[in-house]
Structure 1
Amino acid sequence: MLRGPVPLRGGQALYRRLIELRREREAAATRVPEDAVEFAVSVLNWRPFAYQEELLSDPSKRICVCAARQTGKSTTVAVKALHLALSRKGARVLLVAPTLRQSLNLLEKISEFVRGSETCLKLLRAKRRSEISFRNGSRIVALPSGTLGSTIRGLTADLVIVDEAAFVPEPVITDVLMPQIATTDGHFWMVSTPWDRNHVFYRCFTDPGWSVKRWPATACPLIRPSFIEEQRRLMGEEAFRREMLAEFVDDASSFFPSELIRSCIEDYQPGEVGRGRLYAGFDWGGRADPNALAVVEADGGTLRLVHTELWMSESYTYSVGRVVNLYRQMGFDLALEEIGAGIPIREQLESYGIRVIGVGPDEVERAMIATKVLMEGGRLRIYLDDALISSLQAVKFERTRRGRLVFHHPHGTRDDLARALALACYASTVDSTGSFAAAIG
Structure 2
Amino acid sequence: MKYDKWQKEILEAKGDILANTGRQVGKTTVFSHKIGNYLMKNKGTQIIVVSLTEDQAKLIIVMVLDYLEKKCKQNIQKGKNKPTKSRIWLKNGAHVISRPVGNTGDAVRGFTGDVLYIDEASGMPEMMWKAAMPTLMTTAGQIWMSSTPRGKFIENTNKKNFFFKCWENHEDKWQVFNITSPQAMQEREITEEWTIEKRDKALKFLKDQQALLTEMEFKQEYLSEFLDDMRQWFEDDLIRSCMTEERPNKIDKNNNKTYYLGIDVARMGEDESSFEIFELRKDHMYQVENQITKKTTLPQTFEHIKELNLLYGFTKIFIDSVGIGVGVFDWLMADDDTRHITEAIDNSKQIITTDGRTRKLQKTLKYSHMKMLMETNKVHLLDDPGIFESIKSTQYAYSNDSLGKRHLKIFGNYTHICEGIANAVWGQKYKELNNKIYTIKV
TM-score by length of 2: 0.63
What is the rounded CA distance, in whole Å, between the counterparts of 1:391 and 1:168 in structure 2?
Answer: 10
Aligned to 1:144: 100
2:309 to 319, 324, 327: 327
2:88 to 128, 132, 144: 132
Computing the radius of gyration from Cα coordinates, the structure with the larger value is: 1
Which of 200, 203, 225 is 1:228 aligned to? 203
Cα pair distance change 1:227/1:392, threshold 3 Å = same
Assess if the C-alpha contact under 8 Å between 2:11 and 2:34 holds in 1: yes
* 1:33 corresponds to: none
Change (3 A) 1:368 1:102: closer
Q: Does 1:368 align with 2:367?
A: yes
Residue matched to 2:268:
none
For 2:13, the equivalent position in structure 1 comes to: 58
Deviation (angstroms), 1:155: 0.6
User: Once the 2 structures are TM-superposed, how far is the Cα of residue 57 of structure 1 from its aligned partner?
Assistant: 2.1
Secondary structure of the residue aligned to 1:78 is helix
* Matching residue of 1:88: 42
Structure 1 residues 373 and 180, CA gap change in structure 2 (3 angstroms): farther
Residue among 31, 56, 68 paired with 1:77:
31
User: 2: distance between equivalents of 1:206 and 1:80?
Assistant: 24
List aligned pairs for 1:239-318, cutoff 5 A.
239-252=217-230, 256=233, 275=251, 278-281=259-262, 294-298=275-279, 302-303=286-287, 306-307=290-291
Measured after TM superposition, the shift of residue 296 of structure 1 is 2.8
2:191 maps to none
1:293 to 1:406, Cα distance in 2 relative to 1, 3 A: farther
Change (3 A) 1:296 1:312: same
Query: In structure 2, what is the equivalent of residue 7 of structure 1?
Result: none
What is the match of residue 74 of structure 2? 121
Contact 1:251 1:257 in 2 (8 A): no
In 1, are the aligned partners of 2:263 and 2:420 still within 8 Å (CA)? Answer: yes
Report what 1:215 is aligned to: 179
Secondary structure of the residue aligned to 1:249 is coil
Cα offset, 1:332, TM superposition: 2.2
Question: Measured at CA, do residues 248 and 232 of structure 1 come closer, stay the same or move farther in structure 2, by a change above 3 Å?
Answer: farther
Give the conservation status (yes or no) of the 8 Å contact 1:167–1:262: no
Q: Tell me, which stretches of 5 or more residues in structure 1 are unaligned? A: 1-45, 285-291, 399-404, 436-441
Note closer, same or farther for the CA distance 1:204–1:274 as it changes in structure 2 (3 Å cut).
farther
Amino acid at match of 1:181: L
What's the secondary structure of 1:136's corresponding residue?
A: coil
Q: How does 1:151-170 map to 2 (within 5 A)?
A: 151-170=107-126
Match of 1:177?
A: 132
Quote the Cα distance in structure 1 between the aligned partners of 2:293 and 2:352. Answer: 23
Preserved contact between residue 97 and residue 163 of structure 1 (Cα < 8 Å): yes
RMSD: 5.1
Deviations along 1:159-194, whole A, 9 cap, x unmatched? 01011222322211x121111101111001111122
Q: Using a 3 Å threshold, how does the CA distance of structure 1 residues 85 and 49 change in structure 2: closer, same or farther?
A: same
Structure 2 residue matching 1:280: 3-state secondary structure: strand
Mean Cα deviation higher: 141-150 or 223-232: 223-232
What is the distance in 1 between the residues matched to 2:179 and 2:205?
19
What is the aligned-residue identity percentage?
Answer: 20
Tell me the TM-score normalised to structure 1 length.
Answer: 0.64
Q: How far is 1:256 from its partner? A: 2.5
In 1, the alpha carbon distance for the partners of 2:2 and 2:301 equals 47
Deviation sequence 1:290-318 (CA, Å, 0-9, x none)? xx9853334997536624799999xxxx9
Q: Which amino acid aligns with 1:79?
A: H
Q: Is the 8 A contact 1:281 1:336 kept in 2?
A: yes
User: Per-residue deviation at 1:152?
Assistant: 2.1
Q: 5 Å matches for 1:37-56?
A: 47-56=2-11
Q: Is the 8 A contact 1:94 1:157 kept in 2?
A: yes
Structure 2: stretches of 5+ with no match in the other structure? 154-160, 189-193, 266-272, 346-350, 355-361, 401-405, 436-442
The farther-off stretch of 47-56 and 326-335 is 326-335
Residue pair 2:278, 2:285 contacting (<8 A) in 1 also:
no
Contact kept in structure 2, 1:324 and 1:349, CA below 8 Å: no
Do the aligned partners of 2:251 and 2:311 also contact (CA within 8 Å) in 1? Answer: no
2:21 alignment partner in structure 1: 67
Which residue pairs with 1:26 in the alignment? none
CA shift for structure 1 position 408? 5.7
- In structure 2, what is the Cα distance between the partners aligned to 1:123 and 1:140? 12
Aligned pair 1:189/2:189, yes or no? no
Amino acid at match of 1:185: A
CA distance in 1, matches of 2:416, 2:27: 30
**Larger deviation: 158-167 or 361-370?**
361-370
Q: Which moved more, 1:88-97 or 1:75-84?
A: 75-84
1:82-105 deviation digits (Å, cap 9, x = unpaired): 222222232111111112221221
State how far apart, in whole Å, the 2-side matches of 1:71 and 1:53 are.
Answer: 13
Structure 1 residues 163-172 or 372-381, which shifts more?
372-381
Conserved in 1, the CA contact under 8 Å of 2:149 and 2:224? yes
Q: Which moved more, 1:149-158 or 1:229-238?
A: 229-238
Distance across 1 between alignment mates of 2:342 and 2:396? 27
Identify the residue that residue 156 of structure 2 maps to in structure 1: none
- Provide the rounded CA distance (Å) in 2 between the counterparts of 1:281 and 1:361: 24
2:371 counterpart letter in structure 1? K
Report the secondary structure of 2:424's partner residue.
Answer: helix
Shift of 1:65: 0.9
Cα distance, 1:66–1:259 mapped onto 2, change above 3 Å: farther
Shift in Å, 1:415: 9.8
1:350-394 CA distances to partner (integer Å, 9 max, x unpaired)? 975965789997596764333113455684457648997799547
1:230 positional shift: 3.2
Is 1:98–2:52 an aligned residue pair? yes
Q: Secondary structure at the match of 1:151?
A: helix
Distance 1:105 1:84 in 2: 19
